Amino acid sequence: MGMHHYKELKIWQRSMDLVVSIYKLSAILPKNEQFGLLSQMQRCAVSVPSNIAEGAGRGSNKQFRYFLAIAMGSINELQTQVEIAFRLNYLETSNKDDLTDEMLQIYKMVLTFYKSLGNDE
């Protein structure tokens, strides 16, 4: 299929919005988490659109699928970190629920796109 224009992909656009949400969350997390949980959450969030963009620039659907799989793994990792932040009482239930819902929606979109690419070389 060839290369995709990643900025036109809804999965990239929504995952970029998720990055912004995670960075805004940093304002409410304790300062002692700046180099721990917060830093890890930011790296995972950034990984999602970054891998979508990298995969879109690859020459085959098979390669794109590889990077989409990494993006889905990063979403799962981020969901776990949001849950940890909640269990440590750093997040209100509504914050956790909103973020979790958005991550689930993005995951489903990426998975649907992943499946649509088939196994083409």
Give me the residue spans of the domains in the chain.
Answer: 6-23+31-116
Residue 28: what pLDDT? Answer: 84
Q: In whole angstroms, give the CA distance from residue 118 to residue 92.
A: 40
Q: Which residues of the chain have pLDDT under 50?
A: 1
Confidence at residue 30, expressed as pLDDT on a 0 to 100 scale? 86
CA angle 47–1–8, rounded 5-degree value? 50
Determine the pLDDT at residue 121: 52
Query: Does domain 6-23+31-116 bear CATH number 1.20.1440.60?
Result: yes
Q: Which residue has the tokens 């969350």?
A: 25
How many CB atoms sit inside 10 A of residue 38's CB? 21
pLDDT digits (tens, 9 = 90+) for 7-34: 999 999 999 999 999 999 888 888 888 7
